[in-house]
Each structure stands twice: as C-alpha cells, then as structure tokens.
Amino acid sequence: QVSPEQVILSHSPLQLFNQFHQKCMLVAGQGPVEENAQNLGFKHVVTIEALRKAYPLLDMVDQSRRPKELPPPTTGFPTIEGVILFGEPVRWETSLQLIIDVLLSNGNLGAELQDIPYPHLPVLACNMDLLWMAEAKMPRFGHGTFLLCLENIYKKVTGRELKYEALIGKPSTVTYRYAEYLIKEQAEKQGWKSPIRRLYAVGDNPMSDVYGANLYNHYLKSAHQNQIQAGVKRSLQAASPQSEDHLKLRKDCDNSVESCESILVCTGVYRHNTDVPSKTKECKRETVFHGHRDFCFDPSLVEASYIVQDVNDAVQLAFKKENWS
C-alpha cells in the first residue's frame, strides 16, 4: 500500500518555497487549487474565479458572462504578490487575461496602469508537458501548451520575456531532487542500512520524463565528482587525514546517490522513432522540440537508458539491475 508521503505530484516541491508561503498568491488551474495551495503551506490564496468576481469587467471574452450594468468599484481586495500555475485551466481565455492583468498591474488590479513593471511578480509554474496521452488517438494539450500561450502573449504585449521564479515538475531537477529526498526518507523509515546508489525514473514522454531523469543524472554525476574533489582537497589541507571534517565528508559521499537511470515505456505519448529530433553536435532548439522554452534541447538527454513495453517491465528491470529478482 502506497502512503501519501510516497506520492509526488508536480506541485509537491512547492512545500520547499517557504519564502512565498506568507504572500498573497494567485493560483490557476483546475480542481481544488485553493486547497492544494494551502496544503503546500501557502497561507493567503486567491483563485482566478475569486479574482473574476471581484473585478467582473476584466473577463470580457464570453459575452454571456459580461456584467449587464456597471458594477461598483472593488474595495478591500488584497494586492497579489505572486502567481502559482498548477496546471491547465478550463477557460483559457479567462486565465490568460487575468494572469496577464496581474503581471501588468503588479498585483493591484484596481489601480490604473502606469508603467509596465519589470521584473514582474514572481511566477511559479508546475507541470510543463506540452502534450499528454488520453483516450484519443492523438496527444492532447497539456499545461506546457498553456504556458506557451502565456509566454507569447506577455512578450507580444510588453516586448519582454516572461520570467519564472521556478519551473516545477518534470523535467526540472528540483522535482527529481525532491523525489530523492523522499526516497531516502522512506529508506530510513524502513530501516535500510545500505545507502541508495541508483535511482530509476520511469515515464512515457522523452521530452519530460527521460529528459528530466537524464538531466538529473548529469547533476548527480557532477555533484558526486565535486564531493570527491572537495574531499581530496580537504584531506590534503587537514592536519590529520581522519579529522572530523574529513570523516563527515566521507560519510556524505558514502550516502550520496550516484546516478539516475531513465526507463522509457511504450504505453503513452512515446512512439518509437518518431518523437526524438535528429541529432545535432551542439545544444540548440529544434522545431519539433516539445520541451519548455527555458530548457535547451540536447539530443542525448532524450535518449533513455532503457526502453521497455510498460511499467511492470520497468519495475522488473530495476529489480534485476539491483539483484532483487
């Protein structure tokens, strides 16, 4: 049985962003976004629907929802200090309009627009998948498509790039690091004595699942190499090779994860030999790159360590690699 703390959603790492937990944050997406934000530690949350009701003149695309008469001025509504984008909303035109309004007004929608503020308010976005696979034969729009719209509208209106305080969810390394933290926490609860050396990331999307796992693998190898170099440097500088600092560093190195293996399954978005762009010698953007704007395309990062049929095969592969079967 899987416990709640073993499940990582795209927004789970937002628990670590406590510098925003006391700020008034606009949350966008669908489902219980207000409850989700509060469960993550955010104390002051405003939804798109609450914002629309407070400022009914802002939502003008759907004629049936336009106010029939001029509403009284809005008073007492809090100034918004940041934006959280949980996932794709239902009414894209409303969310796109109001989020842009918040960024252009610096969170004070009741004030008349003077100069456009830049840098704009902090934006934290979760879940960057451009497409996802449902029951239809072709992939459907994901939150990455909504972000693409938001970024391009902001740039078209202001002439400047929309900047993210953080991009959370695959393929962001912060998500994999948070997963590693939870895995180690679970290992301690189970009383495991042997340190975890390898992680296995399973997914059906080369541009998010595989890309993110391989990106984190690069991070782990770089961090591990830096630890080794730091250990050598400290031991040379230390009066005694068994000094307290040296022993602590050795313990940290002994407990560190060394790699993250990517396993691609063929039961979702992935279609063999059709999703991966042609190889290039250098990191660059390609017309078929489905990843987010802020992640440069590197062909090697979308090449999975292993390709299997489904999740069961992926689990069996990991068991075999760890000599558990």
Name 218's Cβ contacts closer than 8 Å, sequence gap at least 6: 301
How far apart (Å, rounded) are the C-alpha atoms in residues 203 and 269? Answer: 9
pTM for the complete prediction?
A: 0.75
- State the pairing for strand pair 82-85/140-141: unpaired
Query: pLDDT truncated to tens, each residue of the chain (325 aa)?
Result: 556 666 778 899 999 899 999 999 999 999 999 999 999 999 999 999 999 999 999 999 988 888 888 888 888 999 999 999 999 999 999 999 999 999 999 999 988 888 999 999 999 999 988 888 889 999 999 999 999 999 999 999 999 999 999 999 888 998 999 999 889 989 999 999 889 999 999 999 888 899 999 999 999 998 877 766 665 555 445 544 444 444 443 444 445 899 999 999 998 877 665 555 444 344 444 556 777 888 877 888 989 999 999 999 999 999 999 998 6
User: What pLDDT sits at residue 251?
Assistant: 45
Name 113's Cβ contacts closer than 8 Å, sequence gap at least 6: 104, 105
| CA nearest to 130, candidates 140, 120, 138 | 140
How far apart (Å, rounded) are the C-alpha atoms in residues 38 and 43? Answer: 6
Are 303 and 276 contacting, i.e. CB atoms less than 8 angstroms apart?
yes
202-218: per-residue pLDDT in tens?
Answer: 999 888 899 999 999 99
| CA nearest to 83, candidates 41, 131, 31, 120 | 120
- Domain annotation for the chain: domains and CATH numbers: 9-63+78-167 (3.40.50.1000), 194-230+253-274+284-322 (no CATH)
How far apart (Å, rounded) are the C-alpha atoms in residues 213 and 182? Answer: 16
How far apart (Å, rounded) are the C-alpha atoms in residues 179 and 258? Answer: 14
Per DSSP, what are the bridge partners of residue 263? 202, 306
SS3 302: helix
DSSP string, 116-128: PPSS-S-EEEE--
Peptide bond into 67 cis (omega under 30): no
Angstrom distances, CA of residue 55 to CA of 58, 97, 206:
6, 12, 41
Token duo for residue 22: 């006391």
Query: Tokens 């060394």, residue?
Result: 258
Are 89 and 132 contacting, i.e. CB atoms less than 8 angstroms apart?
no
Token duo for residue 32: 């219980």
